[in-house]
Structure 1
Amino acid sequence: MTVEPAEIVAETALDREWLTSLYKEFHRRPELSGAEEWTAGRIADELDRFSDWEVTTGIGGHGITAVLRNGEGPTVLFRSDFDGLPVAENTGVDYASTHAQLDAQGQRVPTMHACGHDAHTSSALGALSIIDASREKWQGTVIFLFQPAEEASIGAHGMVTDGLRSIVPRPDVCLGQHVVPGPSGQVYTAPGPVLTSSTTIEITLFGRGAHASMPHRAVDPVVLAASVVMKLQTVVSRELPPGKFAVITVASVEAGKANNVIPDSARLALSCRFYEESVRTRAVDAIKRIVRSEAAAAGCEREPEFRFLGLLAATDNDSTAYAVVRPHFDRFFGEQSQEMEPWTASEDFSVIPRAFNAPYLFWTVGITPLKQWRRAEAADRLDIDIPTNHNPGFLPDLSTLPVTTQAAALAILGCLTHQWPEAPAGWSPDTGAEATDIDAAAVRRAKVETSQAD
């Protein structure tokens, strides 16, 4: 490549009206994990506008890849996700979602792009348009991967197990990005761990049911669940060394259906986040010990059940990928290119590069209107006044869309200038690293449960 990536991006026309219109279209109609049929079709329609791209649809459900081979050079993969959440939108914009779908339990729920996946998808298509229009200025192979079901933590794994490694060439490096609360247009990158690992645990407590007027005849799982929830609050504060990061959130407690019946079981759903595997192991051991001890103390005759629905590894950015991409961000965005602080959320993005034994870089982009951010910052109310991802008020500022688009294009073009190491000896599509130890049955079940969504 003889032309600097920053020059290519600056000189290549971006149809901002098309980009904004596309984003609003995705925003109006979010679809739940595994049920993104319309969204996938709409992405495929846009890909049809570009010639010479090898497009494959229906990978792992609704996953899509688009490959452009443009001479000798590195192979770079850029991934974006496109599923929504069961959240009722409260942003007040004229393109707000009023869409609803059936969830896995068969209940009709409102849906919202409350995590910015609409921005990710439209920006990926925008970056693809830049890469396509500038093909005379670069050499190599570019892969755009559009992933479903990220929110269910099964989308990347589903694509890998459905033959992704045989569908696209092995990438030398993988890239991805995410929008986050922050001053609109700031781009954050860093080497090393930037997102936590995630362990999802479903715990079933077995008591003994009875009439609500006869609690002495029961082993009340509701009281037991309450005791377990409180005791679990001590894991981080008393079981783990100070300074070791961990989050253990009891996100759901379910028990009983009637006010005159003590149920015979209760279910807890835990979301746990860590940066270090040793901390995760210690915390999970403590969770098991506490739950079993509380059940025994309550007189339960049946052992609690633990179901691990998935384990996502921490997102740990490759130092070389960072060193390659960061200067291009600095050159193009100037002071808006910032060092990224570790984020406590988790992502299944790294499943893709791990499946190819490839290095990767994942960065974030701030999406909050500057006036709103500065006002909240001045009042020391950032945690209160700025909606976070998954909040009904989360909404990317439209001015962010060109930034996320340009960041994606810059990173891709920058990586095309670097000489990456060869694939590990003996690597083949059949011998890639195990993508994840997530319960494969959960992938199959999610596909079945969401197939009825409309």
Structure 2
Amino acid sequence: MTEHWQQVYRHLHAHPELSGEEHATARLVADELRALPGWEVTENVGGTGVVGVLHSGPGPVVWLRADMDALPVQEETGLDYASTVPGVMHACGHDVHVTALLGACAELSANPLPGTVVALFQPAEETGAGAQGMINDGLLDRFPHPRIVLGQHVSPLPAGLILSRPGTLMAASDSVRITFLGKGGHASQPHTAVDPLLMAASLVVRLQSLTARRTAIASTPVLTAGALHAGSRPNIIADTSEVLLSLRTFTDSSRNHMIEGIQRMAEAEAAAAGAPQEPKVEFYDHFPVTENTPGDTERVLATLTAGNLPVMSMDNPITGSEDFGAFGTAAKAPSVFWHIGGTDPARFTEADQAYMLSEGALPPHFPSNHSSRFAPDPARALPAAITAMLTATRAELTRP
């Protein structure tokens, strides 16, 4: 069976699909679940979502979640099972999540415990829309209500190492699009134009003061400019420019402060440049803060530790984001999420290990999630992720 899941993983990795377009992935998931004894399968939940339900008599209901979508990244791993889709890649490891949950479902089917397991294969995590889409499609009304919701995410850490913490685990996230409206013209006569590229460039630099002046607070927000677009030729001053930002925050007050500051600074740049119109500022692809329920999180991590899985508690939340928490929030149920390493431990030298201990971070030469070179080792990542999900699930099913 292990070889089967390796093959499933390689197929998923070679055939990635973007958010909301996970049609072939969803079909594969549904087919794999239907081949297992006892699983009831529902497709097209919240778009391409798939829900499997395993009833094994009276007992608790446990929800298990895996996300399915890939990213618009051109793969550069050199793997023999690399993406066959130009410009699309499983650069965040969702293929690991899907395969690991399928493997756990197979084991739960072969050795059932009293209770009910609901496996959620979620689309569109990367846009922040997938979990809420499933909820809006009647997830809570159509399927058994959970006692607890469990999820995991592969990382470039040593394979099998589990990182988590109670309380705030991951940041809220917002994408921001700012469009400056100027007055185009000839590059030889900038005095006759209102240059939107200068507005955009000036704003990107000035925005750094927003986070710089929040460094005294716990869990400082992060604001990153990911793209700046303007014009098409060096001798043309464009009419418009666009700035794309990624905002990460840990509290509602911090998020509100940053949103107000971004809006204010963008409008001020346009006013200072004499722009003919105010800029258009859009906030989209919102992810909530990921909160691990205290008490339940300590219990699950203790279970994983007792199952001989290496577990480390994180001192601080991380600035990455997830929409996993929407399930527990909507169901008013506890939720526990953890990160699990997927890299061959032999790749970590003594110097790498020393760096990780002293800096509390991955050495910079290891490709991280969303990198075109991110490549978990499936021979190690999949068994570890299947074991972690099974260990936690079985403990929750047998808990009084």
Bucket of the pairwise TM-score, normalised by the shorter protein:
over 0.9
In structure 2, how many angstroms separate the alpha carbons of the residues matched to 1:130 and 1:261?
Answer: 62
Task: Show CA shifts across 1:375-432 (max 9, x none).
Answer: 561584943211100111111112121110011111111112335xxxxxxxxxxxxx
Structure 1 counterpart of 2:314, one-letter code:
M
In structure 2, how many angstroms separate the alpha carbons of the residues matched to 1:322 and 1:355?
Answer: 18
Compute the displacement of 1:280 (Å).
1.3
Q: RMSD of the TM alignment (CA)?
A: 1.7
Task: Show CA shifts across 1:73-94 (max 9, x none).
Answer: 1111000001111111122221
Compute the displacement of 1:189 (Å).
2.7
2:88 is matched with: 111
Q: 2:312 aligns with which of 338, 360, 369?
A: 338
2:49 matched to 1:63?
Answer: yes
2:145 is matched with: 170
Structure 2 counterpart of 1:392, one-letter code:
S
Task: Show CA shifts across 1:303-341 (max 9, x none).
Answer: 11111113221111001321331222011125x122235
In structure 2, how many angstroms separate the alpha carbons of the residues matched to 1:239 and 1:303?
Answer: 27
Q: Name the CA shift for 1:184/1:91 in 2 (closer, same or farther; >3 Å).
A: same
In structure 2, how many angstroms separate the alpha carbons of the residues matched to 1:332 and 1:413?
Answer: 11
What SS is found at the alignment partner of 1:319?
A: coil
In structure 2, how many angstroms separate the alpha carbons of the residues matched to 1:20 and 1:267?
Answer: 43
2:163 matched to 1:188?
Answer: yes
Q: 1:86 aligns with which of 72, 88, 94?
A: 72
Q: Name the CA shift for 1:134/1:60 in 2 (closer, same or farther; >3 Å).
A: same
Asked whether the 8 Å contact 2:60–2:116 carries over to 1, the reply is yes
2:27 matched to 1:44?
Answer: no
2:223 matched to 1:251?
Answer: no
In structure 1, how many angstroms separate the alpha carbons of the residues matched to 2:311 and 2:212?
Answer: 35
Asked whether the 8 Å contact 1:340–1:364 carries over to 2, the reply is no
Q: Name the CA shift for 1:121/1:215 in 2 (closer, same or farther; >3 Å).
A: same
Q: 1:385 aligns with which of 342, 351, 365?
A: 365
What SS is found at the alignment partner of 1:383?
A: coil
Compute the displacement of 1:244 (Å).
3.9
2:359 is matched with: none
2:398 is matched with: 417
In structure 2, how many angstroms separate the alpha carbons of the residues matched to 1:375 and 1:22?
Answer: 34
Compute the displacement of 1:23 (Å).
0.8
In structure 1, how many angstroms separate the alpha carbons of the residues matched to 2:308 and 2:313?
Answer: 13
1:396 is matched with: 376
1:439 is matched with: none
Structure 1 counterpart of 2:91, one-letter code:
A
Q: Gapped runs of 5+ residues in structure 2?
A: 357-361
Q: 1:212 aligns with which of 148, 170, 187?
A: 187
What SS is found at the alignment partner of 1:283?
A: helix
In structure 2, how many angstroms separate the alpha carbons of the residues matched to 1:186 and 1:255?
Answer: 44
- Tell me the number of residue pairs that the alignment of Structure 1 and Structure 2 aligns: 393
Q: Name the CA shift for 1:46/1:387 in 2 (closer, same or farther; >3 Å).
A: same
In structure 1, how many angstroms separate the alpha carbons of the residues matched to 2:312 and 2:353?
Answer: 20
Structure 1 counterpart of 2:298, one-letter code:
A
Task: Show CA shifts across 1:336-361 (max 9, x none).
Answer: 12223522100011112212111100
Within-5 A mapping of 1:131-146:
131-135=108-112, 138-146=113-121
1:35 is matched with: 21
Structure 1 counterpart of 2:98, one-letter code:
T
Q: Gapped runs of 5+ residues in structure 1?
A: 1-14, 101-109, 420-454
Identity of aligned residues (%): 40
1:309 is matched with: 284
1:297 is matched with: 272
1:408 is matched with: 389
1:373 is matched with: 348
What SS is found at the alignment partner of 2:385?
A: helix
Structure 2 counterpart of 1:120, one-letter code:
H
